Homo-oligomer: A and B are copies of this chain.
């Protein structure tokens, strides 16, 4: 490919060495039934390390940006196109992949677990694995996961991203259970509710969720416009 001109770009740098670049995606989901945060992992069906557990990944193509590659990878595995995603870190040790020298950039994605394409995931050999049961992963993927979890915990405290893991409408207890799963610790329900509602970002609906209790819990919706508006005024989300 050396010498190919893309996008009307010049080619001033053709004498410099190129590197294989990959993108690996840590895909988080939350299932309200078993109350555990999960990762979408897959068994590699190619060499090296065929048959072992790994993250979903792929090589960066010459005509796509890093973000595009990350989107493509999640789309390929889940069928979802509009997914919350954040770049995490570039892993660049020489021997991180025994199959060749690869620089890999990790992204984490938060998906609404009820919306993904089960069929597609199955075809790719993917499975949802609870955090507590994550197996050994290939190469430095375990490090990527730890790193992602650390960042998720920081982000979830300071940005309203928990909602990305829940359906459009959700109840306060559901939201609390999500945060408890993320931080692996219990929260006081009065304090939790007060803090969240005090920010004025949740809109109460008339409808109740009646599956998990006889009394039923009111559904709420996250008001993104309101959040953007408050952001302008210097508001800081903080749990």
Residues of A within 8 A of B (CB): 1, 6-7, 9-14, 16-21, 47-48, 59-67, 69, 87, 89-95, 97-103, 105
Residue contacts A-B, CB under 8 angstroms, 26 given = A1-B17, A6-B101, A7-B94, A9-B100, A10-B100, A11-B99, A12-B99, A13-B20, A16-B59, A19-B20, A19-B60, A21-B21, A21-B103, A60-B92, A60-B103, A62-B101, A65-B92, A65-B93, A66-B90, A66-B93, A66-B103, A67-B92, A87-B89, A87-B90, A90-B105, A92-B105
The 5 closest A-B pairs by CB, nearest first: A66-B92, A18-B18, A12-B99, A16-B59, A13-B100
CA A101 – CA B62 in complex, angstroms?
A: 8
- Complex: chain B residue closest to A64, CB-CB: B94
Query: Interface SS of chain A: helix, strand, loop or mixed?
Result: loop
- Indicate if the CB atoms of B13 and A59 lie closer than 8 Å: yes
Nearest-neighbour CB distance to chain B for A19, whole angstroms, equals 5
Nearest-neighbour CB distance to chain B for A18, whole angstroms, equals 4
Asked whether A1 and B18 contact (CB < 8 A) given A60-B103, A66-B103, A101-B62, the answer is yes
CA A13 – CA B9 in complex, angstroms?
A: 26
**CB-defined contacts of A94 to chain B, threshold 8 Å:** 6-7, 63-65
- Indicate if the CB atoms of A18 and B21 lie closer than 8 Å: yes
**CB-defined contacts of A13 to chain B, threshold 8 Å:** 20, 59, 99-100, 102
- Complex: chain B residue closest to A1, CB-CB: B17
